[in-house]
A and B are shown apart, each in its own frame.
Chain A
Amino acid sequence: DTAVSQTPKYLVTQMGNDKSIKCEQNLGHDTMYWYKQDSKKFLKIMFSYNNKELIINETVPNRFSPKSPDKAHLNLHINSLELGDSAVYFCASSQDFGQGDSPLHFGNGTRLTVT
């Protein structure tokens, strides 16, 4: 199936731990994103990569570090997890970063719970 897939779907961990979320897309898209959706369902962009190059880096704590080994993969590593990091993290991809009508295709999300 062509899709954006991210793992794990659920992640429960304790404060202070380090964790990673992986994302892969087989749509042949050039651009990938990480979005955070909080308890109020507000989707906020965190990072965007275009052909492995970081192009959007919102005001996100430097405990969050994205890595794109190739344009089909964008992983998110989080150090020293805090309670406020609990949220659903969505990976997404789009055909082209600069093209206006290029919609985002989202993965199914990773629900992170920090205890």
Chain B
Amino acid sequence: GQNIDQPTEMTATEGAIVQINCTYQTSGFNGLFWYQQHAGEAPTFLSYNVLDGLEEKGRFSSFLSRSKGYSYLLLKELQMKDSASYLCAVRDQGDYKLSFGAGTTVTVRA
């Protein structure tokens, strides 16, 4: 199984940058996902990392270090609509199960 830790809450100003960290422990690693979930809605897929390094997708980037069991999601040029919960999820190599962290609620202030 996995232990996945991420901060509970973060607040940032519109136009700023926020970095959400995720640390994990797993018996076998087969990829890490970031999802965005607005209040009362379904989680939606943001990014996937399986190799070390940075994956960039527009204003959002995700980084992975497998040796450190660490990932971060970087949100740039924050907009009000980015206020949401961001979920880190790790796929297990053995049973391919995708396990989620508790999520980080990001609040963007004007």
Contacts and interface: CB of A to CB of B under 8 A. Distances in A.
Interface string B87-100: 10001000111111
Contact of B95 (A41, A56, A103, A107): A56
B102 interface: yes
Contacts of A103: 33, 45, 48
Q: What interface size band does chain B fall in?
A: 20 to 34
Interface stretch (B16-24, B36-44, B65-73): B36-44
B100 A100 contact: no
Contacts of A98: 96
Contacts of A44: 100
Main secondary structure of the interface of B (DSSP, over half): strand
Contact of A105 (B37, B45, B87): B45
B54 interface: no
Given A90-B42, A90-B43, A41 B103 contact: yes
A106 interface: yes
B42 A45 contact: no
Nearest to A35: B100
B41 A108 contact: yes
Interface of B: 30-31, 33, 37, 41-45, 48, 50, 85, 87, 91, 95-100, 102-103
9 contacts: A42-B100, A43-B100, A44-B100, A45-B98, A100-B30, A100-B91, A101-B48, A107-B42, A108-B42
Interface of A: 40-45, 48, 56, 90, 97-98, 100-101, 103-109
